[in-house]
Chains A and B, each alone.
Chain A
């Protein structure tokens, strides 16, 4: 576990290029940056600026074409797929714009899923799920399916799922993108609470500067896959 203030994430000249026929699209093109443990960082930029691609690289969902991504001292680019899966299970939790809950599962089953992958014992798993749902205020909805919940509740459920394995890094990709402003604010309050109470490093992709300014400790701007600005501490 990284101590507060230490470097939690460092990218070194990270590139992610996609081949599109004969041409190459540089989605992320030589980004180097650092994020400290316990920091709330917002990645901002217009559509296609590369912020989601960078988040996916930090999440270990995608691999860089070149460069290094060091998380807690380990380079994700050098990990094999099994190690990356272990990293995603134990080190990071993810929240998506479209919630990405599995529609055929109940809320409890959705939240329990990462703990199943982490091979947590059944009794302990139940306790983790209970605590996680209590944190987002959904203890009464355990048997409900996603289709029976509002957008805000679904996103809270997704947050509970991201927190269940107690990761040290929370990655949120446009978490308020599908929510009205009131519900969006509720979600961001919950994320900030995790950041404050659990000392989690939070990296949030958003295109809403106002929200970023309100909640993030630092804003990083991307444009055409390159670093366009680093807001520094608020």
Chain B
């Protein structure tokens, strides 16, 4: 029998026992809805956690350092049998390296991690704190979700964003600082060859024999007025040393322009690098997604640098959610398994009731295969309809729970969240699974119908 005829006959037969078949289909629908509800909760939670962590910048970033040389300031000096870089020059983390890293696939941006100590003055009050540089992309960070004021107007703007806690040390009401200037007093590093002149008075001079081959640098005190444009509660992520990295933040471009003395206490690090050539203590590499982190780390390490990322933690998180999804799926499938018993029951009853009809069909030329396929088509149709119904039901339940959750979150003064996600693969998978389970449930009744002896079936009243 042709597929079209088979489906037509199956549809006809299903319509004949509307109530019973509708209830069976509803049973499958509830089973699928339960499965969809469980899995979409798992998927939603995973997406929520993943998005939060991705937005935090923890998982799509790589910190790049130059490799340490423990046996002396110069590479190749002394002997370290276990150091793979022994005998060859250690590569400086300079502009050339930054450009090379920027060219790697899926790299979104490469920026230096800049943090320096500064005195911040507002009127009569003055406080020391760390100043952090922020890229324009940092605006997407959770920290700016509930910011008072605005983000930097441009990447080079002479503006500052304060953390509430620090702002309170300058003004009783932190919001009063918005729109006012504060003065930064910091130490600038100047190469001796370029002349140590400028607005500030030299506070300290030092000569050092480092990699720069005898160049020296001086440290000059500088002042710069910056306008307060925003106040944030929590600190945005921007580097691997970033916890507690700053009380105030300025645009990264501005921070680079200020050429401050790094916060590093490593004198050796200071002496190793040239005063005139720009080298970075740490470069932060942001990838398009956490999935690209491992490949980029390997490529950067092959360039001769050390790297660090928190990708392993992300992998563990995914493993956790995979297990969670598995368990939610198993619990969700229980209802579908019960529904499949309903299909078996309905079809077995149908075989009993339609015994004579099956006998007639066989007498008219239907093969065992035709009869089997007809019952399969009926089971599959119920599965398909139940699957569609279940997905719709699951989606509505999800929307309702999301709505309720957001009302609760709003009352707790949290921003709305999407804890329920029904991706297309879940929709397709749930419908496919419902059809498969229904077909499996139809195996026994279909085989029983196909094996009916037509002579006995025709005698059946």
Contacts and interface: CB of A to CB of B under 8 A. Distances in A.
Interface of A: 56, 59, 61-62, 81-82, 85-86, 88-90, 94, 96, 100-102, 104-105, 109, 113-114, 116-119, 161, 165
A102 to B, nearest CB: 5
B2 A81 contact: no
A85 B9 contact: no
B172 interface: no
Contacts of B360: 100-102
Given A61-B455, A85-B370, A104 B364 contact: no
B362 A114 contact: no
A70 B340 CA distance: 46
Contacts of A113: 361, 364
Contacts of B359: 100
A141 to B, nearest CB: 19
A111 B455 CA distance: 21
Interface string B333-361: 00000000000000000000000110111
Contacts of B365: 85-86, 88-90, 114, 117-118, 165
B242 interface: no
B403 to A, nearest CB: 45
Contact of A116 (B9, B369, B455): B9
A91 to B, nearest CB: 10
Given A61-B458, A90-B365, A100-B356, 11 more contacts: A59-B363, A61-B455, A82-B369, A85-B370, A100-B359, A102-B357, A104-B13, A116-B1, A117-B1, A117-B366, A117-B370
B16 interface: yes
Nearest to B357: A102
B153 interface: no
A104 B365 CA distance: 19
5 contacts: A104-B16, A116-B1, A116-B2, A116-B9, A117-B370
A117 B362 CA distance: 10
Given A86-B365, A89-B364, A96 B458 contact: yes
Contacts of A118: 365
B127 to A, nearest CB: 88
Contact of A85 (B5, B357, B366): B366
- What are the 8 closest A-B residue pairs judged by CB atoms, nearest first? A89-B365, A85-B367, A117-B365, A114-B364, A116-B5, A88-B365, A61-B454, A100-B360
A138 B370 CA distance: 29
A4 B121 CA distance: 119
Contacts of A109: 12
B368 interface: yes
Interface of B: 1-2, 5, 9, 12-13, 16, 356-357, 359-370, 454-455, 458
A102 B362 CA distance: 12
Contacts, number: 67
Contacts of A117: 1, 361, 364-367, 370
Q: Which of B362, B363, B455 has the most A CB atoms < 10 Å from its CB? A: B363
Nearest to A59: B363
A178 B440 CA distance: 42
Q: Which of B1, B16, B356, B365 has the most A CB atoms < 10 Å from its CB? A: B365
Contact of B364 (A62, A82, A86, A161): A161
Nearest to B365: A89
A56 B459 CA distance: 12
A68 B5 CA distance: 35
Contacts of A89: 364-365
Contacts of B367: 81-82, 85-86, 117
Contacts of A165: 365
A46 B252 CA distance: 108
B458 A85 contact: no
B270 to A, nearest CB: 88
Contacts of B357: 102
Contacts of B356: 100
Contacts of A104: 12-13, 16
A81 B2 CA distance: 19
A105 to B, nearest CB: 8
A119 B455 CA distance: 24
Nearest to A84: B367
B362 A85 contact: yes
A85 B368 contact: yes
A119 B6 CA distance: 10
A129 B370 CA distance: 21
Given A85-B367, A96-B458, A61 B362 contact: yes
Given A61-B455, A62-B455, A88 B363 contact: yes
B350 to A, nearest CB: 12
A116 B366 CA distance: 9
Contacts of A88: 362-365
A118 B370 CA distance: 11
Nearest to A93: B364
Contacts of A90: 365
A101 B360 CA distance: 8
A206 to B, nearest CB: 18
Contact of B455 (A56, A82, A102, A161): A56
A130 B357 CA distance: 23
Contact of B458 (A82, A100, A105, A119): A100
